Amino acid sequence: MANPTNTSGPGTLGTENNQPIGDLGTLARTQHKPNAPQGKGVDNGVASSSASSRRGLTDADREFIWNIHQARHGEHALSLEQLVRLRNETARMLEQAVRDSGPDSQHAKWFQSVVDAYDEEIELGKTALGTAMEALRSVIEKPATEKDRRAKAATTLAILRQMELTGQGDNPQVAEAMHLIGELIKLDAKEKTDELEALVNKETGSSGAVSEEQFREKVAKVMGSERQQELMGLNEDEDDHGPSKAMKLVIQTLTLVSDRRINTLKGLIAQETRSPGSVSELQFTRLVAAVLGDERQKELIGLPGISGNGFEPVVEVVKILVKKRSAVVNELLKKQTTTGGVNNDQINQAIKDYDAIKMQARRLGIAVADGGDIPDQPLTAQPQKQ
Segment 63-121, tens digit of pLDDT: 665 565 555 444 455 666 777 888 888 889 889 989 988 988 888 888 888 888 888 77
Contacts (Cβ under 8 Å, ≥6 apart) of 163: 129, 169, 171, 174
CA within 13 Å, CB half, 321: 28
229: Cα separation from own chain's centroid: 6
CA 354/CA 319 separation, integer angstroms: 12
What is the SS3 assignment for 189?
helix
Taking a C-beta distance cutoff of 8 angstroms, is the pair 133, 157 a contact?
A: no
Looking at residue 193, what is its pLDDT? Answer: 93
What is the SS3 assignment for 367?
coil
Segment 193-213, tens digit of pLDDT: 999 999 999 998 888 899 989
Taking a C-beta distance cutoff of 8 angstroms, is the pair 324, 332 a contact?
A: no
What is 7-23 written as a DSSP string?
--SSS-TTSTT---TT-
Question: Which residue(s) pair with 46 in the sheet?
Answer: 43
Looking at residue 196, what is its pLDDT? Answer: 94
Looking at residue 79, what is its pLDDT? Answer: 65
CA within 13 Å, CB half, 7: 28
Question: Which residue(s) pair with 235 in the sheet?
Answer: none
Taking a C-beta distance cutoff of 8 angstroms, is the pair 216, 196 a contact?
A: no
Mean pLDDT by 10 residues, the chain (386 residues): 41 40 32 35 33 45 57 54 82 90 88 83 73 86 86 86 75 83 89 93 90 91 88 66 81 88 92 92 90 83 64 88 87 84 84 86 78 62 46
Looking at residue 380, what is its pLDDT? Answer: 63
Integer angstrom CA distances of residue 123 from 68, 75, 130, 217, 386: 14, 20, 9, 44, 99
Looking at residue 20, what is its pLDDT? Answer: 42
A 10 A CB-CB count for 346 gives 15
CA 293/CA 346 separation, integer angstroms: 31
Task: Name the nearest CA neighbour of 37 among 47, 48, 45, 27.
Answer: 27
Looking at residue 7, what is its pLDDT? Answer: 42
Task: Kindly state the helix (H) or strand (E) to which residue 374 belongs, with its residue range.
Answer: none
DSSP code of residue 339: T
Q: Whole-model pTM?
A: 0.55
Looking at residue 272, what is its pLDDT? Answer: 92
Looking at residue 267, what is its pLDDT? Answer: 94
Task: Kindly state the helix (H) or strand (E) to which residue 47 belongs, with its residue range.
Answer: strand 46-47
Integer angstrom CA distances of residue 234 from 42, 73, 229, 361: 46, 17, 5, 47
DSSP code of residue 72: G
**Quick one: angle between helices 281-301 and 311-338, nearest 10?**
150
What is 206-258 written as a DSSP string?
STTSS-HHHHHHHHHHHHHHHHHHHHHTTTTTS-TTS--HHHHHHHHHHHHHH
Looking at residue 279, what is its pLDDT? Answer: 92
Looking at residue 49, what is its pLDDT? Answer: 32
Task: Name the nearest CA neighbour of 182 among 237, 127, 145, 221.
Answer: 237
Q: Tell me the one-letter amino acid at 50.
A: S
